[in-house]
């Protein structure tokens, strides 16, 4: 099963009634698969902010709800996300964010884990299709138990991988009663000051509890040897590249299970953190006194792989890539933008373009677009 389909299935099994999303690789298929399931409401929103607002509205009304987007979409949705972190939820609310290390189809390579930390919202990070389905259900339990929205982070390699996932019957989750509570849902300063205190107390509870979550675990092969802390797709790379090392698998990117990692560090000779993009886990671990090494070996740019990890630890060089002709993307047959961009170029106009496939208007033979920064800066 495709991991994105597994996420949709996990939402269905968890009793999700409403899903609102904005399409963007690598998250698009989640909504497409969920829409085919019985007894649910699914929609494309005009943007990611609206998607989160629709899902949050359904949550306040008592339904389990989901919003889906790619990493740059979380920028657009940041406004309701940060406020929802204060107000909490009624029905469970999960926001799926799909990061794109390597920028296969994105305008930047940002790391969404920092959003979880900044918004004080828990984040789960699965490593395959089976985990993705089960993590969704755990995310809803966490959302309702701790009265918080929950982020589920995937990356391109996880989203578009296939794996085995066991299907179970849908949970029949009743709508929660809506109780009028302005002090919880009206985020004006006097209320928000009190809500912020509740958020900080929630952080303290979660920081302790995540160490007992089954998704955070130590896997020992030979204590007193090398240990690796990793999460998501990188966990799969590490297990394949270094089958004999001890691994601490992180399932909650925020809060990190720092007590569990600290205990793990005591049982290994040397501790490494292998993670894509920023030294998010490495910095957090060093901040609490856990000695480790990470970005001294690996770049903050691009994807990792089994071969890259093996090369660093075993000195095995990656084979030279085959010389394959480039296959650049093209606009779809019949796309009306072709004629538009042709006309713009013919008239020698300055064109301030928008993100998405319209960026192809910047390349030959059209070569009509001068800037692509957002929705038309």
pLDDT by residue, tens only, the chain of 377 residues? 999 999 999 999 999 999 999 999 999 999 999 999 999 999 999 999 999 999 999 999 999 999 999 999 999 999 999 999 999 999 999 999 999 999 888 889 999 999 999 999 999 999 999 999 999 999 999 999 999 999 999 999 999 999 999 999 999 999 999 999 999 999 999 999 999 999 999 999 999 999 999 999 999 998 879 999 999 999 999 999 999 999 999 999 999 999 999 999 999 999 999 999 999 999 999 999 999 999 999 999 999 999 999 999 988 776 767 788 888 788 888 999 999 999 999 999 999 988 888 888 998 889 999 998 877 67
CA dist., res. 170 & res. 184, Å (int): 30
Q: Taking the complete model, does pTM exceed 0.85, yes or no?
A: yes
Q: For 240-267, b where at least 16 C-beta lie within 10 A, e where not — what string?
A: ebbeebbbbbbbbbbbbbbebbeebbee
> Crossing angle for the helix pair 78-87 and 189-209, nearest 10 degrees?
80
Residue 170, SS3 per DSSP? coil
Of the candidates 372, 374, 275, which has an alpha carbon nearest to the alpha carbon of residue 75?
Answer: 374
Q: Are the C-beta atoms of 268 and 227 separated by less than 8 Å?
A: yes
Q: What pLDDT does 331 receive?
A: 86
Q: Are the C-beta atoms of 231 and 251 separated by less than 8 Å?
A: yes
């Amino acid at each position: 099963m495709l991991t994105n389909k597994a996420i949709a299935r996990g939402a269905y099994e968890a009793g999700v009634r409403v899903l609102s999303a904005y399409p963007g690789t690598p998250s698009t298929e989640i909504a497409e698969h969920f829409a085919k399931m019985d007894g649910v409401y699914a929609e494309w929103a005009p943007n990611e902010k609206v998607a989160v607002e629709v899902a949050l509205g359904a949550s306040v009304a008592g339904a389990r709800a989901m919003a889906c987007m790619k990493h740059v979409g979380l920028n657009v949705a940041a406004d309701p996300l940060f406020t929802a972190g204060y107000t909490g939820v009624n029905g469970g609310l999960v926001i799926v964010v799909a990061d794109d290390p390597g920028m296969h189809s994105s305008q930047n390579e940002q790391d969404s884990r920092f959003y979880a930390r900044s918004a004080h919202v828990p984040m789960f990070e699965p490593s395959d299709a089976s985990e993705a389905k089960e993590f969704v259900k755990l995310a809803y339990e966490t959302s309702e138990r701790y009265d918080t929205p929950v982020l589920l982070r995937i990356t391109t390699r996880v989203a578009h991988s296939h794996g085995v996932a066991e299907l179970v019957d849908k949970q029949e989750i009743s709508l929660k009663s809506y109780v009028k509570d302005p002090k919880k849902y009206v985020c004006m300063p006097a209320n928000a000051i009190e809500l912020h205190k509740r958020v900080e107390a929630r952080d303290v509870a979660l920081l302790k509890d995540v160490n007992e979550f089954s998704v955070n675990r130590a896997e020992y092969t030979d204590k007193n040897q090398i240990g690796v802390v990793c999460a998501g797709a990188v966990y799969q790379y590490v297990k394949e590249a270094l089958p004999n090392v001890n691994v601490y698998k992180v399932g909650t990117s925020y809060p990190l299970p720092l007590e569990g990692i600290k205990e793990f560090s005591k049982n290994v000779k040397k501790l490494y953190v292998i993670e894509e993009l920023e030294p998010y886990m490495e910095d957090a671990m060093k901040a609490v006194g856990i000695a480790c090494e990470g970005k001294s070996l690996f770049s903050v740019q691009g994807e990792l792989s089994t071969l890259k990890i093996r090369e660093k630890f075993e000195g095995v060089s990656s084979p030279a890539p085959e010389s394959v002709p480039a296959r650049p993307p093209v606009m779809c047959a019949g796309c009306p933008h072709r004629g538009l961009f042709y006309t713009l170029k013919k008239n020698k106009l300055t064109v301030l373009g928008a993100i998405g496939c319209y960026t192809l208007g910047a390349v030959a033979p059209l070569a009509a677009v001068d800037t692509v920064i957002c929705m038309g800066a």
